[in-house]
Amino acid sequence: MAAQPKTIWDRLEDIPREILYGLLLITIILPMIYPIGFPVPISAEVQRWYNTIDALPAGSVVMIDFGYSGGGEPELAPMAVAVYHHLFKKGDIKVVTMSTSIEGPLLWEKAMLELNPAQYGKQYGVDYIHIGYIANVEAAMAAVGKSISATTTTDYKGTPLSQYSIMEGVDNAADFALLICYTTGGDQSEGWVRQWYTTYQTPYLSCVLAMMVPTMLPYQKAGQIVSVTSGAQAGQMELLVEVPGRGIKSADVITMTHLLCIAFVVVGNIAYFGKKFSGGKK
Amino acid sequence: MELASIIQIWLAALFTIWIYTIAFRDDAFFKFAEHTFVGAAAGHSIVYGVDNIIRYGWAPMTAGNMMYAVVFILGILLYTRFHQTYFWVSRVPLSVVVGIGIGLSMRTTVTSEFIAQIISTAQMKVLGLDAWTGFSNLLFIIIVLATVYFFIFTFPKAHGGSLGIISKVARYGMMAAFGYSFANTVLSRFNMIFGRIDYVMNTWLVLPYAMLALPVILLLAIYAMIPAERRPWPKKS
């Protein structure tokens, strides 16, 4: 039996993926070469995040979990860098960083290269430090909350923590004014609620992959997290901190790719209903 | 720029391009990049694993804290699972690991994931707010209640007849939530692609010879995507 010729609706339903990905690639690259400059409105979550850091009193110590993996770096790093800019710009804020992700220390080093803390006169071991990757997610959070010195005695490079002035008088969750977590894992973002907010009531800011935001919003609504943002909102933070970076650059691309995505959905629906009404699909 | 950094950037860019070729068609470059990534990730994990054992186990034990010897013994016992007769011994350390994990999370789970969420929903105001917020809160409460009702499986009749409308509302609510999740997933993925393409364009392509190398790399990738029997060269005899 001869095969039926393909109708226009069949062709629309079966557009080769090479064409779809090709269009996507063009849609990403074109706004990078010729920026459009779509507006970037500041959302309530990012504003709340910014205000929380802005309200920190001088001398505060902040704990940061650099808990994302390499795959999440393009999304989360711009936000992490923008927030570090804010913390260091503010002046007398000390930042202790740890990682619940195995790749965390490497990615933190990369972020520090991008940030260049020396431009704010910040010194490693005096104003900021990385105490290393601490294994076993929630156990690590609980242990560090109880006592950093009992959990680890060295920083990520293996140097004893006792040699760094930043660690003087800083040992448990009560010594921190704020907790910030960047992560690609649900265990981490929810774990901090369980191990630090619920136990010590430490104010908590969480930055996760956009796909994780719906899971985290109930915690924000219940007041357990001050603000939940996604890495995709980094452009807004960069605007507030006045340090334009990768986040702002991505705004045009994200808007254009989403318009393309909507166009794909519309084409798919036209094909589906076209086929249905022309009698091709029951 | 240091030579090590230049090599690192070239490798990162090459692997990025090779990994993304899978979007168009499977090819040898993608396979090479994929296998290299898996190998590197495994190697990295092993190095960090050993480092962790030294930092958090061996160092305190040799410093005199002999409690860590118990942890070492438990760790070694995990490997008995590869023994045909004594594999059951591995269940002991495993049960300790699972017990600690569950104990740690359970101590606050009830407060953080049940009580706090229930209080938050119960405290939501519907009246005395602007119309949109009031409506939004009302919708939220209706969908929460309907979704909880949806998962009552003990009484099948609770979902039949006119009560079926509650399950329907719950389904629409859950579909909306899944849709929101999916849209955010798309956003995440696009952001990741942007990050890598930005790296290729603004970190690699600005290096000497990178612009010359790009067309060669792309042509080779396209060639690798052509099935072997359809390649113009080399001809199969």
pLDDT digits (tens, 9 = 90+) for A38-92: 999 999 999 999 999 999 999 999 999 999 998 899 999 999 999 999 999 998 9
CB B194 within 8 A of CB A74: yes
Is the pLDDT reported for residue B234 higher than 80? no
At position A69, the amino acid (one-letter code) is: S
Residues of A whose CB is below 8 A from B198: 32, 74, 246, 249-250
Cβ burial, residue A162 (10 Å; 0-12/13-18/19+) = exposed
Task: For residue A184, list chain B residues with Cβ-Cβ distance below 8 A.
Answer: none
The percent helix, strand, coil of chain B (3-state, each to 5) is 80, 0, 20
Letter for the amino acid at A126? V
The mean pLDDT value for A103-121 works out to 95
Q: Residue B136: its chain A contacts at CB < 8 A?
A: none
| Nearest neighbour of A210 by CB, restricted to B45, B191, B199 | B191
Cβ of A258 within 8 Å of Cβ of B187? The answer is: yes
What dihedral do alpha carbons B91, B95, B96, B97 form, nearest 10°?
100
pLDDT of A3 above 80: no
The Cβ-side half-sphere exposure at B204, using a 13 Å CA radius, reads 23
- Among the listed residues A163, A145, A166, the one whose alpha carbon sits nearest the alpha carbon of residue A154: A163
pLDDT average, residue stretch A107-122: 95
Given pLDDT bands bounded at 50, 70 and 90, which one contains residue A1?
low
Instruction: Give residue B237's pLDDT.
Output: 61
Work out the number of other CB atoms within 10 angstroms of the CB of residue B48: 18
Owner of token pair 């704020």? A178
| Average pLDDT rounded to a whole number, residues A252-263 | 93
Q: Is the alpha carbon torsion for B160, B161, B163, B168 positive or negative?
A: positive
Q: Which of A74, A214, A218 sits opposite B192 (nearest CB)?
A: A74
A residues 237..266 contacting B (CB < 8 A) = 246, 249-250, 253-254, 257-258, 261
Which of B62, B125, B201, B56 lies closest to A30, judged by CA? B201
Closest to A67 measured CA to CA, from A217, A233, A180: A180
Chain B residues close to A231, C-beta within 8 Å: 188, 191
B105 vs A194: CB contact, 8 Å cut-off? yes
pLDDT tier, B236 (very low <50, low <70, confident <90, very high otherwise): low
Higher pLDDT residue, B100 or A2?
B100
Cα B77 to Cα A151: distance, rounded to the nearest angstrom = 23
Q: Quote the mean pLDDT of chain A.
A: 93
Query: What are the tens digits of pLDDT across the range B172-199?
Result: 999 999 999 999 999 999 999 999 999 9
Task: Test A135 with B190 for CB contact under 8 angstroms.
Answer: no
Instruction: Using an 8 Å CB-CB cutoff, list chain B residues near A161.
Output: none
Picking from A261, A224, A185, A269, the residue whose alpha carbon sits closest to that of residue A28 is A261
